[in-house]
Chains A and B, each alone.
Chain A
Amino acid sequence: MKISDMVAKRTRRLLKGVARSAAVELERLRSIPGTPEELNFFYDVLEAAYVRNDPAPMLDARPDKDLFVGVYCMVVPEELIYAAGAIPVRLCAGCFESSQIGEDRVPRDGCPLVKSSMGLSMQKGLKVFDLCDIVAIPTTCDAKRKLGEELSAFKEVWMIETPHIKDADFSRRIWMEQMYALKAKLETVKRNGTRGKRINARRMAAAIQDTARAQAEMRRLLSLRSAEKPLIWGRQATAVVNAFAYAHVNRWTEAVTRLNNRLAAMAENDQPMADSGRPRIYIAGSPSLFPNLKIPTLVEEMGGVVVADESCAGDRYLYDPVGSTEKNLNDQMLGVASRYLAPCVCPSFTPNDDRLTLIQRMITDFAVDGVLYHVLKGCVVYDFEVNRVENALRNNQIPLLRVETDYNPEDVEQLRTRIEAFIEMLKSKRSRTKQAVS
């Protein structure tokens, strides 16, 4: 067999595997009883990206004409990309199949997120990856830093030096420099005769406004999720936020607005999605990325309900708005830059006490009963902070369960037993507090 035939065969196999896992996960989501039709948009977006392999329409883009910029993590400002007339696609991946391929270039102890993204970049075929003309990667954690270097064998890579001591003056300086460098880069990206547009105040204002609308709806969704009677399952909400990566911001915002209206109506008519007897779980730690929704799914199958999470591909992704009302470009740049650095509580930053404050606030706002701490195998930064989080929670008497896993489905049954026991424990704790009160 010719080498090119072998590669083609391998690609077909990978795409088939990815499509199958994604389809299984989507089927599981779609068959949740009482699913409101307003969720279909998000499932369609994920289906377009992973099952049908035709993401362009959902991104409102023309695959042959538009510029696509792949981004990693949540510190790359999508406003800048939109303002340059390009389409951002977040590439942090959750596919088990490609994580195995990625192991050719990522060491065994690397996290599955990086392995999975690596695999999909190496073995071309999946359009969300192939479409990207350039990938912007921040130097957040070690894995992302080295990922950028490895990926440059396949793609044009633009590294964004991300300072780790957020509060220092020099960090703000470095970050501003990095933002201006990214801006200049985006303005000169070229493809098939298309070139990045000049980023001016008008285009920036429009991009900031579009993203702000998305963020506002995201916060509205969160406040709906704080209801005592749960209106939406956590795994559904995770899919909603995951879909942001592969949809045009305005289309996504419209869909979330419709969803929020529906949830508000459900609250109004007292038609919750789940009963209020379920322990309320907050998922902390590494992100759950479609199709790997293992953790929220297990929590809810075993009797809990995920009311919020702090993941960078979940509730934290779109939480903070840009604080700029000025109409001149410098202020806009400053506003955007600060929004992506200052409030980010990713554990690659240090010191990171902000994260403890955020978690404690969420625990109170969402009346959380227990925290499930998700560590993707090899994710040292999140695992490092588990003790600090556990100690902080001890004061609030909130139990924490740490689970370490990757994208391999083989440990589901073992995880199930532990998660079920955790939920049982929270249930009996709940009924005791109720007894004590009455």
Chain B
Amino acid sequence: MSQTYFAGIDAGSTYVKAALMDENQALVAFDQRPTGIDADGTSQKMIAAMAEANGIPADHIQNIIATGYSRRIISMARDTVTEIKAHARGAAWSAPNSIGIRTVIDIGGQDSKVIVLDGDNEILNFAMNDKCAAGTGRFLESLARVLELDISELGPLSLQSNMPLSINSTCVVFAESEVVSLVARKKKREDIVAGIHHSLAKRIAAMARKAGAQPGILLTGGGGRNAGIASALDEALLMDIHVPEYPQLNGALGAALIGMTED
């Protein structure tokens, strides 16, 4: 008997993420590549590579669902869903130790969102920060550049801080100059970085409270890979923050799961 598989593609503005699952909802393979100028071509290569590496004939992939900013241009996809729906759907699968998730906070490269779920994982409400870089990965990226750090160094570094400094501007341009002046005043880098995380967390927490966030919070997207953000959010919201094993994959996983049930 041949297995059938389901794929989800999350074509974001910076990265394309793809997940391949079998019919028992087990994750078989996943991949992540920079979107580049050809999101469609990139995702075709990713699916082909994942199938080949696992010896799966192409026609055993029964359904492909696309989500993310560029979802409409993914030609292999049978259907598309919004990131909101995909993240909501991925939440239960991604939740560590099967914790009941009532709120997903997704911090992506270009936008961040808060999705509030009911007890049956259905969407109750959502909010998006989609207009400017404040509260998104881009905010961190630009500030990391000012500090001459790689984005992956931010999390561990900020956890060493005992006294986070305050960064008041949420606007990247002004925050950059604040950071520059803190550096000039010879402030500790870990304290600056922790301050940056707190500033971002404050912004996201306000959005989450407005949307009616409930305890049982899952942090996904690039933000989920940064332990500094998780801890700052925990403080800002006074709620436990749960981070899945593959935070960036949550949207793609959700899309694959949707493909399994919605025919």
Binding site for B on A (CB under 8 A): 399, 411, 414, 417-418, 420-421, 424-425, 428-429, 432
User: Can you name the residue of chain B whose Cβ is closest to the Cβ of A420?
Assistant: B82
| CB–CB B81/A424 < 8 A | yes
CB atoms of A399 and B85 under 8 A apart: no
Chain B residue nearest in CB terms to A416: B82
Interface status of B182 (Cβ within 8 A of chain A): no
B84: which A residues are within 8 A, CB to CB? 417, 421, 424-425
- Chain B residues contacting A428 (CB-CB under 8 Å) are 85, 122-123
A204 to B130, CA, bound (A): 52
Tell me how far the C-beta of B173 lies from the nearest C-beta in chain A, rounded to whole angstroms: 18
Chain A residues within 8 Å of B126, by CB: 418, 421, 425
Q: Is the CB of B131 within 8 A of A414?
A: yes
Binary contact readout B100-132 vs A (1 if CB under 8 angstroms, 0 otherwise)? 000000000000000000000011111010110
A-B CB proximity, top 5 nearest: A421-B84, A421-B82, A414-B130, A425-B123, A424-B85
Q: How far is the CB of A424 from chain B (nearest CB, A)?
A: 5
The answer for the CA separation of A432 and B123 in the assembled complex, in Å, is: 12
Beyond A414-B128, A421-B84, A425-B84: 12 further Cβ-contacts under 8 Å?
A417-B69, A417-B84, A417-B130, A421-B83, A421-B85, A421-B126, A424-B81, A424-B82, A424-B84, A425-B122, A428-B122, A428-B123
Least CB distance from B209 to A in Å reads: 14
Name the CB-closest residue of A to B85: A424
Candidate in B82, B84, B85, B126 with the most chain A CB atoms within 10 angstroms: B82
Q: In the complex the two chains form, is B122's CB within 8 Å of A418's CB? A: no
Task: Give the residues in chain A near B81, CB-CB below 8 Å.
Answer: 424
Shortest Cβ distance from B82 into A: residue: A421
User: Nearest A residue to B126 by beta-carbon distance?
Assistant: A421
Contact between chains at B131 and A399 (CB < 8 Å):
no
16 residue pairs bridging A and B, Cβ less than 8 Å apart: A399-B125, A411-B131, A414-B128, A414-B130, A417-B69, A418-B128, A418-B130, A420-B82, A421-B82, A421-B83, A421-B84, A424-B81, A424-B84, A424-B123, A425-B126, A428-B85
Name B111's closest neighbour in chain A (CB-CB): A414
Interface residues on B, range: 10 to 19
CA distance A399 to B123 in the complex (A): 11
What is the CA–CA distance of A247 and B19 in the complex, to the nearest angstrom? 57
Q: Which residues of B contact A424 (CB under 8 A)?
A: 81-82, 84-85, 123
Most buried by B among A420, A429, A432: A420
Residues in A whose Cβ lies below 8 Å from that of B123: 421, 424-425, 428
Cβ of A411 to closest chain B Cβ, rounded Å: 7
Cβ-closest chain A residue relative to B87? A421
Residues of B near A429 (CB, < 8 A) are 122
Determine the chain B residues whose CB is within 8 A of the CB of A420 once the complex forms: 82
Report B-chain residues with C-beta under 8 Å of the C-beta of A432: 122
Contact A417 B125 (CB under 8 A): no
Asked if B82 and A417 make an inter-chain contact with CB atoms under 8 angstroms apart, the answer reads yes
Q: In the assembly, what is the distance between CA of A65 and CA of B131, in Å?
A: 50
Which residues does chain B contribute within 8 Å of A411, judged by CB atoms? 131
Q: Min CB distance, A332 to chain B, in Å?
A: 49
Q: How many angstroms from the CA of A414 to the CA of B128 in the assembled complex?
A: 9
Q: How far is the CB of B91 from chain A (nearest CB, A)?
A: 14
* A428 closest partner in B (C-beta): B122
Q: How far is the CA of A429 from the CA of B120 in the complex (A)?
A: 11
Tell me if B122 and A417 are in contact (CB < 8 A): no
- How distant is the Cα of A149 from the Cα of B211 in the complex, in angstroms? 40
Chain B CB within 10 Å — which of A411, A420, A424, A425 has the most?
Answer: A425
CA distance A411 to B128 in the complex (A): 13
Q: Mark out the residues of chain B between 67 and 81 whose CB falls within 8 Å of any chain A CB in the assembled complex.
A: 69, 81
A432 to B121, CA, bound (A): 12
Are A417 and B83 touching (Cβ within 8 A)? yes
B130 partner residues in chain A, CB cutoff 8 A: 414, 417-418
Docked pose: A201 CA to B17 CA in angstroms: 73
For the complex, what is the distance from the CA of A399 to the CA of B116, rounded to whole Å?
13
> How far apart are B155's CB and chain A's nearest CB, in angstroms?
28
A420, B67: Cα distance in complex, Å? 12
